[in-house]
Amino acid sequence: MDRRRLMTTGASLLAGGVLAPARSLAAATRIAPSAARVRPDDAGWPSDAQWDGLSRATSGRLIKVQFPLADAIANPDSPATARLFRDLKNPFFIGDTVGLTQTLGWTDAWTTSPSAYAVAAETSADVAAAVNFARAHRLRLVVKGGGHSYLGGSNAPDSLMVWTRRMNAVELHDAFVPAGCKGRLAPEPAVSVGSGAIWLRAYDAVTTKAGRYVQGGGCTTVGVAGLVQGGGFGSFSKAFGSGAANLLEAEVVTADGVVRIANACTNPELFFALKGGGGGTFGVVTRLTLRTHDLPAMFGAANARIEARSDAAYRQLVEKVVGFYAASLFNPHWGEQIGFRGGTVVNVNMVFQGIDQKTAQETWKPFFDWVKAAPDDYRMSAPLVLALPARHFWDAKVMKSLPGIVKGDDRPDAPAEHFFWSGDGGQVGQVLHGYQSAWLPQALLQPARQGELVDALVQASNTWGVSLHFNKGLAGGAPEAVARTRDTAMNPAAADAFALAITGGEEQPAYPGVKGHEPDLAKGRADAVQIARCMAPLRRLQAGPATYISESDYFEKDWRQAYWGPHYPRLRAAKQKYDSGGLFYVHHGVGSEDWSADGFTRLG
Ligand SMILES: Cc1cc2nc3c(=O)[nH]c(=O)nc-3n(C[C@H](O)[C@H](O)[C@H](O)COP(=O)(O)OP(=O)(O)OC[C@H]3O[C@@H](n4cnc5c(N)ncnc54)[C@H](O)[C@@H]3O)c2cc1C
C-alpha cells in the first residue's frame, strides 16, 4: 500500500469510526464500489484463471511485469545494479523494458512504478482483448508507447498496461485517401506507422530509404502515437506543421473494445481529439497514417556559444539576438533553439531546411561579425554553419561518422541503425526537478515590443537557463503548416506563437530506496523554485496560460486552458462520447478532473 492510499484509508477510518484489518478496509472505504478501480489486494482482482484467459486471448502476449529497480533496491551494491544504472542511460534499453519509463520520475509529482501486467500487443485484436478485460474487471488501464511522457502518462502502478512496442510496421503510400473520404479528399502521399514505432524507425523508412519527409519529433526514440496525440513538434515544424497537423487517419480501439477508424470523414470528433487532445485519453491508437512531403534538398545547422563579459554586454547581446531572429530567422526555414543561461551565455543550436549552406552562412554573417567586432565584450566559440543532404539526416551510418553528434545503442545485439542525438542524452533516465514552458506571442517580435521580451529573457536567465524553441511555435511558418496546425485540438496559441520558451532541471538516473542512487529531494525542490522564478517573467508576456501537454509543468494550474484553450468543451464531449466510463485516465488529460490524482477513484 502506498503512502497516499494509506492516508485515504486512514481518513475514511476516522470519518467512519471503523476498525478492521487494512486489507478489507480498502473495500470498505470506497465512495461507491462501482466508482473505484480494482487493485491487486482487492477482492475483485482477477483470478489466475482469468489472467490465463487474457493470456490465451492475446496469443500468450500477457506479461507479468518485472521491475528492474526492485532488484536494485534489494541489491544496491551488486554488479547487476551497476549495469542497470549504466543501461538507464540507453533510451533503447529503457524502451525495450516493459517495466521502465524514459523519465523515472519528477520531484514531488510521480515516481515510475510498474504495472501489474502488460499485454505486449501485436494486433488491434490483442489491444481490444486487453481493453475489454480492463473494463470488465474495473482495472486501471495504461498505454505505453515510447515511454517518454514527462507527466508520467504511461506509468500507473497496479494497472494493466497495453504496451504497443511491437506494433511497429511501416508502410508507404503513393496516393492515400482516408476511409470514407473518396471524392471528398484528394489522394496524397502518406505513411502508415504502427503505434508502437519510434520516430527513428519512421525516419529510416520514409527519409533514408524512400527519400521523403514525415513530420515527427526531434528525439529519435520518442513514440509516434504519443507525440502526435500530444501535438508534437520536430525541428522543421515551421515548414511542415505539428505532428498532429499531419495526421490523416488513425486506427483506434475505444473503451467499448471496438476497433474504429478515425479521420476527417469517419468518426471526425474522435479524429479531432487524437490530433493533439492528449495521449492515453480517448482510446488505444494502433496505427497512424501521416502525410508525407517532398524532402528538401538540404538540412543544416548553425551553432555557436557566446559569452558576454559584463551585464551590459549580455543585455546588448540578448537585444541583438531578438532583433536578428525577428529580421532574419522568423520564417519557415529556421527551427530549434537559442538558449540563455547564467546571465552571461547565449547558446545557438539552430537548424535549417530549404536553403543551402551558403545562404545560411550569409544569413548569420552579420550577426557573427557583430559579435567578433567586440572582443572586449564577447568571447565566441564554435560558430559553425553546415549543411548536408537531407536524406542523410537520420542515416545512422553517416551520423555515426560525425564526431560527437549522436550516440548509438551500446547493447551487443543492437541494430546498427539505432542512434539518438547526444543533446538528448541528459534526459535519458532523468528524474525531473521541474519543467515549465510557455508559448510567446509573435507580437513580441514587433520592434516596439522587443524590449519587453529582452527584459524578460535577461531576468529569466539570471535565475536559471531558458531556451526559446522556435520550431515549437508556428508563427512565421509556411501558411499551409500554420493552417493545418490551427485545425487540431491544440491551443490555437500554438499558431500565433513565434516560440515555446522552455526551462527545466533534472538529475541523472535515481530511484527511491536504491542506496547510492537516491533522488536528491532537497535539490529537486530548490531547483523547482528557481525554475518557476525563471519562467515567471516570460509567463507575464502571455495573454493567458498557453503551452502543450507533452512538454509542460506537471503542476500546471490552468491546464485545460493552457493545453487546449477554446477546444476543451469539444474535447470533453468527445471523451464523453467515446469513453463515458473514464477507462482511459492520465494526469491532466481531458476528463481527468473527474478522477482522483492517481486515477483510481471517481470523484463526487
Ligand atoms: C528526451 C525527450 C525528447 C522529447 N522531444 C520532443 C520533441 O522534440 N517534440 C515534441 O513535441 N515532444 C518531445 N518530447 C515529448 C514527447 O513528444 C511526449 O512525451 C510524447 O507524448 C511521448 O510519446 P511516447 O510514446 O514516447 O511516450 P509514452 O509515455 O509512451 O506516451 C505518452 C502519452 O501518450 C499515451 N500513448 C502512447 N501511445 C499511445 C497509443 N498508442 N494510444 C493511446 N495513447 C498512447 C500514453 O498513455 C501517454 O499518456 C520529448 C520527450 C523526451 C523525454
Quote the ligand 1 centre to 148 CA distance (angstroms).
Answer: 5
pLDDT tens profile 163-210: 999 999 999 999 999 999 999 999 999 999 999 999 999 999 999 999
3 state SS for 497-519: EEEEEEEEEEECCCCCCCCCCCC
Q: Which set of grid coordinates corresponds to residue 447?
A: 520592434
Residue tagged 545512422 (cell numbers): 396
Q: Look at residues 511, 505, 483, 515 and name the one whose alpha carbon lies nearest to residue 496.
A: 483
Say yes or no: CB of residue 280 within 6 Å of ligand 1: yes
C-beta separation of 161 from 142 below 8 A: yes
Quote the ligand 1 centre to 152 CA distance (angstroms).
Answer: 10
Angle at 499 (CA atoms; ends 153, 447), nearest 5 degrees: 160
- Residue 104 clears pLDDT 50, i.e. is over it: yes
Q: Which set of grid coordinates corresponds to residue 21?
A: 484489518
- Residue 31 clears pLDDT 90, i.e. is over it: no
Q: How many CA atoms lie within 13 A of 393 on its CB side?
A: 31
Q: Quick one: pLDDT at residue 382?
A: 82
Q: Quick one: pLDDT at residue 357?
A: 98
Say yes or no: CB of residue 226 within 6 Å of ligand 1: yes
Pocket test for ligand 1, best of 112, 229, 430 (most atoms within 8 A of CB): 229
Say yes or no: CB of residue 279 within 6 Å of ligand 1: yes
Say yes or no: CB of residue 225 within 6 Å of ligand 1: yes
Q: Which amino acid is at 31?
A: I
- Residue 299 clears pLDDT 70, i.e. is over it: yes
Pocket test for ligand 1, best of 143, 253, 287 (most atoms within 8 A of CB): 143
Q: Which set of grid coordinates corresponds to residue 324?
A: 536578428
Q: How many CA atoms lie within 13 A of 602 on its CB side?
A: 16
Say yes or no: CB of residue 444 within 6 Å of ligand 1: no
Domains and CATH numbers, the chain: 3-165 (3.30.43.10), 170-294 (3.30.465.10), 298-563 (3.40.462.20)
Please state the atom number of ligand 1 nearest to the C-alpha of residue 430. Answer: 53
Q: At what angle do helices 450-463 and 521-539 cross, to 10 degrees?
A: 170
Q: How many CA atoms lie within 13 A of 303 on its CB side?
A: 9
Average pLDDT over residues 90-100: 98
Average pLDDT over residues 70-99: 97
Quote the ligand 1 centre to 321 CA distance (angstroms).
Answer: 31
Gap between the Cα atoms of 290 and 311, Å rounded:
47
Say yes or no: CB of residue 230 within 6 Å of ligand 1: yes
Gap between the Cα atoms of 415 and 168, Å rounded:
15
Average pLDDT over residues 486-504: 98
Confidence of residue 383 (pLDDT cuts 50, 70, 90): very high
CA–chain centroid gap for 473, Å, is 16
Quote the ligand 1 centre to 567 CA distance (angstroms).
Answer: 21
User: How far are the Cα atoms of 18, 125, 137, 141 from residue 583, in angstroms, in the given order?
Assistant: 30, 18, 11, 7
Which residues are 251's β-sheet partners? Answer: 261, 287
pLDDT tens profile 536-584: 999 999 999 999 999 999 999 999 999 999 999 999 999 999 999 999 9
Say yes or no: CB of residue 458 within 6 Å of ligand 1: no
User: How far are the Cα atoms of 116, 524, 594 from residue 512, in angstroms, in the given order?
Assistant: 19, 13, 30
Quote the ligand 1 centre to 302 CA distance (angstroms).
Answer: 27
Please state the atom number of ligand 1 nearest to the C-alpha of residue 195. Answer: 41
Please state the atom number of ligand 1 nearest to the C-alpha of residue 283. Answer: 43
